[in-house]
Amino acid sequence: MTRRIVGISLKMYFGHARATEWFAQVASRVADSPAVMSGAVEVFVTPTFLQVPAAVTAFRGTPVRVGGQDVAAEAEGAYTGEVSAAELAEVGAGIAEIGHAERRRLFAETDVTVAQKTARSLEAGLEPLLCIGETEKQDPDVAAAVAVTQLRASLAGAPAGSVIVAYEPVWAIGAPAPAGEDHVRVVAAALRAALAGRPASAVIYGGAAKPGLLPRLGDAVDGVFLGRFAHDPDTLVDVIDEAAALAYQ
């Protein structure tokens, strides 16, 4: 069965009080969503590390999954400031976001680092959320080749297990509009083919994703990864409803 996924990253936009209020508002809305409560639409959120326990508590009683926005490349040890995959799982997280373009650009993360984090996450029972995307706008076939190469590097040495690939063209992150539908279809198809050996994996689109995009993409992707457009819970519900419409087709 095709997974229908709506994911949200809060990045570092919310303080703790605002995040806690947002969790409560979203939890109330998804509790009224038959599509979410039945599992027809999967919803996940990646808040800051400090907000993870509050999110787990707020979404208890719903199927909403909580994840970390990063994870350590090592299982344990003298790594000041790091958070291990095992600890994330221990406090109730189910997902680890790995390899986001901002972490590659600002913190010099490499494909090797991403692969280590992917392996640690799968070993701990977390589903990796692998952020994949070309840095410059390119022909779709070229972008697809870049994305597949990046995905294979991210999975190098990783144990078995499903992953969620968030295709986020770096040039579209924070842009006024997402990548074109035809562009996304070509890249997503290539990523799906590359995931053939990992059953239950999914490909979602991020990068200026907003209401109205998912109906246009249809079955080309399994869902969307939202950023600032999900800060308004009502807008988030609009996207969930779009995912539900596709799930019930």
Out of 100, 134, 183, 242, the active site residue is: 100
Mean pLDDT of the chain: 96
Mean of pLDDT values over 71-80: 98
Out of 127, 168, 183, 242, the active site residue is: 168
- Dump pLDDT digits (tens) for 15-51: 999 999 999 999 999 999 999 999 999 999 999 999 9
Active site residue 100: yes
Domain assignments of the chain as residue spans, ordered by start? 5-247
What are the residues whose beta carbons fall under 8 Å from the beta carbon of 6, sequence distance 6 or more? 41, 42, 43, 44, 223, 224, 226, 236, 239, 240, 243
Active site residue 82: no
Mean of pLDDT values over 62-91: 98
State yes or no: pLDDT of 1 exceeds 70. no
The per-residue pLDDT for 249 is 86
| Second-level CATH architecture of 5-247 | Alpha-Beta Barrel (3.20)
The per-residue pLDDT for 179 is 93
